Amino acid sequence: MSVLFFHTMRYKVQDPRNASNDRFVLSKGHAAPILYSVWAEAGFLQEAELLNLRKIDSVLEGHPVPRQTFTDVATGSLGQGLGAACGMAYTGKFFDRASYRVYCLLGDGELSEGSVWEAMAFAGFYKLDNLVAIFDVNRLGQSDPAPLQHHVEIYQKRCEAFGWHAIIVDGHSVEELCKAFGQAKHQPTAIIAKTFKGKGISGVEDKESWHGKPLPKNMAEQVIQEIDDKIQNKKKLSPALPEEDAPVVNIRNIKMPSPPTYKVGEKWATRKAYGVALAKLGHANDRVIALDGDTKNSTFSELFKKEHPNRYIECYIAEQNMVSIAVGCATRDRTVAFASTFATFFTRAFDQIRMAAISESNINLCGSHCGVSIGEDGPSQMGLEDLCMFRAVPNATVFYPSDAVATEKAVEIAANTKGICFIRTSRPENPVIYNNNEDFHIGQAKVVLKSKDDQVTVIGAGVTLHEALAAAEQLRKEKIFIRVIDPFTIKPLDKKTILENARATKGRIITVEDHYHEGGIGEAVCAAVVGEPGITVSRLAVSHVPRSGKSAELLKMFGIDKDAIVQAVKVAVSKSRNAE
């Protein structure tokens, strides 16, 4: 850390987030005290503040978080720092084309995480020669030794196999570290530092059971004195200043260059409308970027790639790493990142999404192929838990557009919204129902069908909104009228509109969704109306693990098609009549 911060890295101490500064990611976030100590030594933090570590009124938390201006991404859930560092390095090399470098310190314990090797593969493939990973191979994990212990030559071979220049060093040798950091190659560099936990402390060095434990007071005083006696030169060190060549970037208030150009009644899949919208947004700002995990011809992010090839990042089938890359790209407001894959594949990246929220990241994720409506591909490809997952993420916005116009508006709004944004898109083609000049807002639902004679309010989104409209048409022939609501965003949900319309339809609400019962639209609506007198909610949703079949067959099988809605409406109306 001392060699990095006071010999190798170039940065402005009093401006830690300067766009031209070298970046540092502490992937082994539990080592946060050393990070705080170097910033105190550099003069950014007051030394006295270090004594407030982990206290509730201090910014120095147990693991790094972006509340600290010298921290770009939160770490502590191990194995994620290198992916974010890759995103920063990719941005520096290909988007900023600046001279800043990115350094990431990993512990040997977290090298068991598959996400580390997804990031290693990414960096090797894209030859991120502005990236340096430092492996702290101290042999000891939290409860047991790490699997490779001090076999540093095996780490070296693994790194080389992933396309990295790998150097083994004595991690306690300032000279060796200075020399290693100075080696420039046309590939990423891995410095494999053999270290000993508790080096120089009698009874502690290379011993188990000291992870995360402070030394007893009398022992600590003696050790501090021993270390102090070894310091030969107490001259204050200052880091070198960066070359200020990172471009000025403005990603605020990004507007579509023109309105949507759809025709009411035309059939469009919202997944395709997403690709069209993203490609269009790319013309509005050259900092809009797209990422995908080898599904671009299904999510239609390929349309963005076709028009903006230099701003598309292929992450291949490594969804965890894709989310981390997006987080890294979006740090310091350098880009507006949109990452897409099948909605169901984001479930494997939930920890990365959770940490992105803790990182206060502004990334946009689009999940296509949601629900049983995708048809023959079967349950492994069907996103049926994604609404539940993203609703649980703090400060997330969950868009569920029901036609092409709404999808284009969702993309534009997401680009200008803080926090994690999730856009849920569908495979089937459904008619355009909104005019191109329709205005959309977060947390504002649309009443797409209403009359003074409505008896039930039906809430659907995506394919089920169209099923609800078809059900309304069928019920109208029997002189039964329903009100149909499109929520647009599931989080936040438009509680006011839902309650107003429910009260106008005798308190009856039916929700219908292409998602499991747990955590979806039905539960969101129930949470919104809980405690409200006279309101009843009936929920139609996918009740168990589905199977392959045609889209219409599956909607029918799981009771979320127009016929099921018709039946549910009749039951709700007859119940009320019987009660009267």
Rounded-to-integer distance, Cα 515 and Cα 405, Å:
22
Distance (Å, whole) CA 328 – CA 74: 11
- What local confidence, expressed as pLDDT, does residue 147 receive? 97
pLDDT along the chain (580 residues), means of 10: 97 98 98 97 97 97 98 98 98 98 98 98 98 97 95 98 98 96 93 95 90 89 89 88 97 98 98 98 98 98 98 98 98 98 98 98 98 98 98 98 98 98 98 98 98 98 98 98 98 98 98 98 98 97 98 98 98 78
pTM of the entire predicted model: 0.97
Pairwise CA distance, residues 370 & 199, whole Å: 53
Which candidate, 373, 402, 301, 401, places its Cα nearest to that of 546? 373
pLDDT tens readout for residues 3-29: 999 999 999 999 999 999 999 999 999
Amino acid at position 79, single letter: G
Q: Where are the beta strands (DSSP E) in 68-130?
A: 102-107
**Which pLDDT does position 203 carry in this prediction?**
87
What is the per-residue pLDDT for 578? 67
For 79, phi then psi, to 5°, come to 95, 5
Position 580 scores a pLDDT of: 59
d(CA 483, CA 302): 38
Residues annotated as catalytic are 319
For CA atoms 460, 465, 469, 471, give the dihedral sign. Answer: negative
Strand 446-449 with 482-486, pairing: antiparallel
Token couple for 383: 């996103």
- Helices 114-125 and 319-330, packing angle to 10 deg: 60
Q: Which residues pair with 366 in a beta bridge?
A: 340, 423
Give the sign of the dihedral formed by CA 449, CA 454, CA 458, CA 463.
Answer: negative
What single letter denotes the amino acid at residue 157?
A: K
**What does the pLDDT read at residue 233?**
83
In single-letter form, the type of residue at position 125 comes to F
pLDDT at 579: 63
- Residue 421 is predicted with a pLDDT of 98
Alpha helices in 80-162 (DSSP H): 81-90, 114-125, 152-161
